[in-house]
Amino acid sequence: MFLFSSLTSFLTFLIALLMAITVHEFSHAAMADHLGDPTPRLTGRLTLNPFAHLDPIGTIMLFIFRFGWGKPVQIDPFNLQNPRRDQALISLAGPGSNLILAVFLSFLMRLMRPMGLMGLMGLMNPIILLNLALGIFNLLPIFPLDGFKIASGLLSPEQAEQWDELRPFGPLILFLLIFPFFGQSIIGQLLFPIINWLLHFLLPYGYTGI
């Protein structure tokens, strides 16, 4: 699917991008606040203002590779009752909210279809796509993605300590997976089929793939 064939498609993609990143990062902040850490609220991250959550590099990556991230939400683990478990829940809240929003919008589209609101439904297509891509990508257990801390929360304390030793290698591994060495990135070859398969269930009409 070529996203930038017209100004309309570009603006639609931009709206979808802002929504996906905002929902993702706000959910991190809201979960941290719920679990007793006021840091995101004090740093202005407990907001649905998209400009509070944009990371320049992560946003550019989304435009180029269709994988990216928002500005990381700062938390203070000393404010959490169970730091390892709570950090895993905070990490899960971001991609979890993206996947929930994608499913909700898919359900909403099915309700709207008999009404013939094709223009509004067309706007929802890229929103669902980007929320799926952002959610699934961030579940990968590679630092600094959310999946790294989620995995840590599922391990025993001893295993989590060993797991944390992989943290310094995460950015390099992520770069090697994202960079299109032979025309397509390794991560694209792995994740695009999964995303396409899910989209065929969520968008059973008018979907051409990514």
Give start and end residues of each alpha helix (H) in 52-82: 56-65
Residue 83 pLDDT > 70? yes
Per the structure, the count of domains in the chain is 1
Distance CA 123, CA 138 (A): 23
Residue 100 burial (CB count, 10 A): 14
**Catalytic site residue 158?**
no
Q: What is the pLDDT of residue 179?
A: 83
Q: What is the pLDDT of residue 3?
A: 52
Assigned domain for 187 exists: yes
Residue 90 pLDDT > 50? yes
Q: What is the pLDDT of residue 1?
A: 46
Assigned domain for 2 exists: no
Q: Give the model confidence (pLDDT) of 160-199 as tens digits.
A: 999 999 999 999 999 899 888 877 788 888 998 999 889 9
Q: What is the mean pLDDT of residues 19-32?
A: 96
Distance CA 163, CA 159 (A): 6
Assigned domain for 153 exists: yes
147 and 138 Cβ atoms separated by less than 8 Å = yes
Q: What is the pLDDT of residue 55?
A: 85
Full domain range(s) for residue 151: 7-202
Which is catalytic among the residues 25, 158, 161, 165?
Answer: 25
Assigned domain for 107 exists: yes
Assigned domain for 94 exists: yes
Assigned domain for 207 exists: no
Q: Which residue has the higher pLDDT, 65 or 139?
A: 139
Assigned domain for 20 exists: yes
Predicted confidence band at 27 (pLDDT cuts at 50, 70, 90)?
Answer: very high
Assigned domain for 83 exists: yes
Distance CA 32, CA 146 (A): 14
Q: Give the model confidence (pLDDT) of 100-148 as tens digits.
A: 999 999 998 888 776 766 666 677 888 999 999 999 999 999 999 999 9
